[in-house]
Amino acid sequence: MGKFRFVAPEYLFVEIREHLDEILEKTKLSQEELDVVLNFLEEQIEVIPFEEFEDKYDEAEKISPDPDDIPYFALALKLNCAIWTNDKKLKEQNAVKVYTTHEIMQMLEIY
């Protein structure tokens, strides 16, 4: 098994679909390239149904700096795992460890 296990709430792919235009603009990918990336992510990320971590939602609501990120915090609390994001605002709490891409690259010794 690899060094990391990637999990996400089912909300992740809903959120991605809601922001496809923004993602295309920011990444400068073509629609076809983005489709390839999303298919790859869907294969690599284990999607966890909300019912499996909903008992942590209220706790997550209290610590999440952004209401949109409550499901991620609830899942992290349930699984006792970290969150991978470049959103600096999410480091404004200390209940859940948050890693940036740079920090992950350092762990993997890719820099």
Local confidence pLDDT in tens for the 111 residues of the chain: 467 889 999 889 888 989 999 999 998 999 999 999 999 989 999 999 999 999 999 999 999 999 999 999 999 999 999 999 999 999 999 999 999 999 988 888 876
Distance CA 46, CA 84 (A): 14
Q: What is the pLDDT of residue 15?
A: 87
Output the 3-class SS for the chain: CCCCCCEEECHHHHHHHHCHHHHHHHHCCCHHHHHHHHHHHHHHCEEECHHHCHHHHHHHHHHCCCHHHHHHHHHHHHHCCCEECCCHHHHCCCCCCEECHHHHHHHCCCC
Beta strand 7-9 with 46-48: parallel, antiparallel or unpaired?
Answer: parallel
Q: What is the pLDDT of residue 2?
A: 61
Q: What is the pLDDT of residue 92?
A: 92
